[in-house]
């Protein structure tokens, strides 16, 4: 294990690598990898970043065959030890441990790298790994800045390597089935007019993260790795460590709740509709966590022009309440509504009341074929306060015919590994991810300025 | 028929009546106790069939089976426990203890009554258990359950009355 730290800072790296060549679109986006040898060959994997999200990814991939774990890099010794121990106990393999990702990439022969670092390191680490000849799986949000995300697409094109972004819902069988079978093929929603999405997280889940000081990196390490970026004064060790553990609260290190939580779901809006939004209105506030740089609650409305007509999509991310039904994306059409969520418990499908006999027949046939399951006929709430003339008859409730037998990230990683072997194409390569993520980068500016943004190619190009 | 023969015939009837009560009450308690160690275990995921064939999206449904084990143990059902917790006359610590001992108590008393071990003491203890359950159900206004347990108490009392005719027992002392 080498404890020397490199002299290349993030800012220097960015200036020396692809930002200067951000508009160079050399090779076309290669979505299918060249053959990586015989299919039986193990994929040699390294990890950059060994925190909580890394643990989620590792636990999701332990049952995927044909992976050889080789090395991991993190600036925190304790995390490296945990990753080493987890791989050792599960696979009886001693991986190499590095404090520096660049050194790992120089010394190890890796086929693929998983990047699960803070958002402001995603672009540097991804580009570094792509240029070292590795395929990359990088967690969303692609970067803390739109420029950083664009530089990742450029690096993917330039190197010809695969770059999968961790919008894992795009490989989730439930989401794929809903899009392909229910929305596109059988059009059970009719014309989709509105979308409503949310992630409401309880106050108790939104508190500052703390850790024992003796396991945290020292001040010079944190400064070297950019955790003082954007600060207007010399940061104390305590302030640096707060930024290290709570980088999601700082504007120069992340995009805040709208990118942490909202990115997954607004990605679904754009993916399902197949178009980018035309405009954006947003509002946000530091209503509870007054000392945090980012908004603690954000609400926004996107407008879309689809071949079927105009669609408005509302999204909210709240960090002070978990009430209101959890997290889901709701596609509301003239004939039906699909509430889809990564959690099966939040997934519900409704047939509009008063639809034509033809529509009812279609839904009945879908149930008979096994495409849908009927849960319950709509039942009026009743009660003395019900005023019949105000209310529509309640819709019938349906559900998806099945669920997921794996962890939510497993299918997405399987897709990445299969693509490296040349047996699949990426479900969310960097270019497609950026097409979807680009509008999200404008939510915080729209909320700050309180002005509607009419999107142009300048805003949304990849 | 002599009076002695009549007496013998009546004694046999009373003994069989007692045995019937012991079997009913014993098995009732054993099965109820066992069910508190029951849970649902997912054992397999199978592809969902659409138009009679496995779907191409890898949507699956799980096959669930009932299983027994210590890890599934729940003395007081969760639905009732929440209601009991809201009752000021039922302290939380008492509910926690009761939750732990209810299942084992039913199993133990069921076995002793079924086999005829200290039948009178066992029957009385079972009567106390059913009475305690009755009190809980009264508090949360489950009248049907109260009536159902009332029938159990009557059967326990009948068994105690017939205890002197308990001839098919392992330990008839108490």
For B154, the token pair is 């009557």
Q: Does the pLDDT at position B138 exceed 50?
A: yes
- Per-residue pLDDT of chain A (462 residues), as tens digits, is 443 434 444 444 444 444 333 333 333 334 444 344 444 589 999 999 999 999 999 999 999 999 999 999 999 999 999 999 999 999 999 999 999 999 999 999 999 999 999 999 999 999 999 999 999 999 999 999 999 999 999 999 999 999 999 999 999 999 999 999 999 999 999 999 999 999 999 999 999 999 999 999 999 999 999 999 999 999 999 999 999 999 999 999 999 999 999 999 999 999 999 999 999 999 999 999 999 999 999 999 999 999 999 999 999 999 999 988 789 999 999 999 999 999 998 999 999 988 899 999 999 999 999 999 999 987 776 777 766 666 777 889 999 999 998 999 999 999 999 999 999 999 999 999 999 999 999 999 999 999 999 999 999 998
Could B61 and A403 be called an inter-chain contact, meaning their C-beta atoms sit closer than 8 Å? yes
Of A181, A402, A411, the CB nearest to B61: A402
DSSP A409: T
DSSP state of A219: H
Query: B53 near A404, Cβ under 8 Å?
Result: no
Residue of A nearest to B44 (CA): A405
Among A180, A370, A402, beta carbon nearest to B60: A402
Nearest CA-CA distance, residue A351 and chain B, Å: 20
* 3-state SS assignment for residue A222: helix
Maximum CA pair distance of chain A? Answer: 74
Q: Encoding tokens for residue A134?
A: 């590795």
Q: Look at residues A17, A94, A141 and name the one whose alpha carbon lies nearest to residue A438.
A: A141
Please name every residue paired with A339 in a beta bridge, in sequence order, or none if there are none: A330, A348
If you ran DSSP here, which 8-state letter would residue A337 be given?
E
Q: Does B59 touch chain A (CB under 8 A)?
A: yes
B48 in A contact zone (CB under 8 Å)? yes
Answer for the pair A99, A220: CB distance below 8 angstroms, yes or no: no
Helix, strand, coil share of chain A (percent; to 5):
40, 20, 40
**Chain B interface test: which of A401, A412, A414 (most B C-beta within 10 Å):** A401
Are A370 and B50 in contact (CB < 8 Å)? yes
**Among B42, B52, B55, B59, which would you mutate to test the A interface (most chain A Cβ atoms within 10 Å of its Cβ)?**
B59
Which is it for strands A297-306 and A279-285: parallel, antiparallel or unpaired?
antiparallel
Dihedral sign, Cα of residue B63, residue B66, residue B68, residue B69: positive
Give yes or no for A122 touching B (CB within 8 A). Answer: no
Residues on chain A touching B48 (C-beta within 8 angstroms): 370, 401-402
Chain B contact set for A177 (CB, 8 A): 55, 57, 59
CB interface of B with A, residues 116-155, below 8 Å: none
3-state DSSP assignment of residue A391: coil
SS3 assignment, position A167? coil
Q: Which residues of A touch B58 (CB under 8 A)?
A: 173, 405, 411
Do the chains contact at B59 and A371, CB–CB below 8 Å? no
Which residues between 17 and 46 in chain B have a beta carbon less than 8 angstroms from any beta carbon of chain A? 45
CA distance to partner chain A, nearest, from residue B66 (Å): 19
Residue that the structure tokens 């308990």 belong to:
B166
Could you tell me if B39 and B73 are in contact, meaning their C-beta atoms sit under 8 angstroms apart? no
Q: Which helix (H) or strand (E) holds A431?
A: helix A430-437
Domains of chain A are: 10-165 (3.40.50.720), 172-205+256-399 (3.30.360.10), 213-245 (no CATH)
A205 inside 8 A of chain B by CB: no
Label each residue of chain B as H, E or C.
Answer: CCHHHHHHHHHHHHHHHHHHHHHHHHHHHHHHHHHCCEEEEEEEEEECEECCEECCCCCEEEEEEEEECHHHCCCCCHHHHHHHHCCCCCCHHHHHHHHHHHHHHHHHHHHHHHHCECHHHHHHHHHHHHHHHHHHHHHCCCHHHHHHHHHHHHHHHHHHHHHHHCCCCCECCC
d(CA B43, CA B52): 23
Interatomic CA distance for residues A137 and A165, integer angstroms: 6
């Amino acid at each position: 294990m080498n404890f020397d730290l490199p002299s290349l800072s993030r800012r220097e790296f960015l200036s020396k690598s692809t930002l200067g060549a951000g508009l160079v679109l050399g090779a076309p986006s290669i979505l299918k990898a060249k053959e990586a040898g015989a299919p039986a060959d193990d994929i040699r994997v390294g990890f950059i970043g060994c925190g909580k999200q890394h643990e989620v990814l590792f636990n999701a991939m332990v049952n995927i065959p044909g992976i050889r774990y080789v090395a991991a890099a993190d600036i925190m010794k304790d995390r490296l030890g945990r990753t080493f121990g987890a791989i050792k106990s599960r696979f009886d393999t001693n991986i190499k441990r590095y404090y520096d990702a660049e050194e790992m990439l120089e010394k190890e022969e890796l086929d693929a790298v998983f990047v699960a670092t803070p958002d402001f390191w995603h672009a540097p680490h991804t580009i570094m790994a792509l240029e070292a000849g590795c395929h990359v799986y990088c967690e969303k949000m692609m970067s803390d800045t739109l420029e950083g995300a664009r530089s990742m697409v450029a690096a993917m094109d330039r190197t010809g390597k695969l770059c999968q972004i961790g919008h894992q819902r795009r490989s989730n069988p439930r989401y794929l089935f809903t899009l392909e079978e229910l929305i596109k093929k059988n059009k059970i929603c009719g014309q989709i007019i509105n979308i409503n999405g949310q992630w409401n997280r309880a106050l108790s889940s939104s508190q500052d993260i703390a850790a024992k000081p003796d396991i945290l990196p020292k001040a010079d390490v944190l400064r070297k790795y950019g955790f003082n970026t954007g600060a207007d004064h010399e940061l104390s060790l305590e302030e640096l460590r707060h930024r290290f553990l709570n980088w999601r609260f700082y504007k120069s290190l992340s995009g805040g709740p709208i990118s942490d939580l909202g990115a997954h779901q607004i990605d679904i809006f754009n993916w399902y509709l197949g178009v980018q939004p035309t405009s954006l209105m947003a509002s946000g506030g530091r209503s509870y966590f007054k000392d945090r740089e980012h908004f603690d609650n954000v609400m926004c409305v996107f407008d879309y022009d689809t071949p079927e007509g105009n669609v408005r999509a509302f999204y909210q991310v709240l960090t002070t309440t978990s009430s209101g039904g959890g997290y889901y994306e709701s596609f509301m059409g003239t004939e039906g509504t699909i509430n889809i969520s990564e959690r099966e418990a939040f997934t519900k499908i409704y047939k509009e009341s008063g639809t034509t006999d033809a529509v009812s027949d279609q839904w009945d046939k879908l149930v008979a074929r096994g495409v849908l399951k009927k849960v319950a006929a709509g039942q009026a709430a009743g009660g003395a306060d019900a005023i019949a003339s105000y209310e529509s008859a309640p819709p019938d409730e349906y559900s998806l015919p099945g669920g997921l037998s794996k962890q939510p990230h497993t299918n997405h990683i399987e897709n990445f590994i299969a693509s490296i072997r040349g047996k699949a194409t990426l479900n969310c390569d960097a270019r497609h991810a950026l097409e979807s993520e680009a509008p999200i980068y404008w939510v915080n500016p729209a909320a700050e300025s309180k002005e509607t943004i009419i999107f142009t190619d300048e805003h949304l190009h990849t | 028929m002599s009076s002695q023969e009549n007496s013998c015939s009546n004694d046999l009837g009373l003994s069989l009546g007692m045995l019937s009560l012991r079997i009913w009450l014993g098995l009732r308690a054993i099965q109820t106790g066992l069910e508190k160690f029951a849970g649902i275990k997912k054992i397999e995921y199978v592809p969902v069939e659409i138009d009679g064939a496995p779907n191409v999206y890898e949507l699956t449904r799980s096959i669930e089976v009932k299983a027994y084990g210590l890890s599934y143990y729940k003395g007081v059902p969760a639905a009732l426990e929440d209601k009991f917790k809201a009752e000021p006359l039922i302290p939380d610590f008492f509910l926690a203890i009761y939750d732990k001992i209810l299942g084992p108590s039913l199993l133990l008393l069921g076995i002793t009554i079924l086999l005829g071990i200290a039948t009178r003491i066992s029957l009385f203890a079972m009567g106390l258990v059913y009475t305690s359950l009755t009190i809980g159900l009264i508090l949360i206004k489950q009248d049907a359950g109260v009536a159902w347990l009332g029938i159990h108490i009557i059967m326990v009392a009948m068994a105690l009355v017939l205890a002197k005719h308990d001839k098919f027992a392992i330990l008839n002392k108490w």
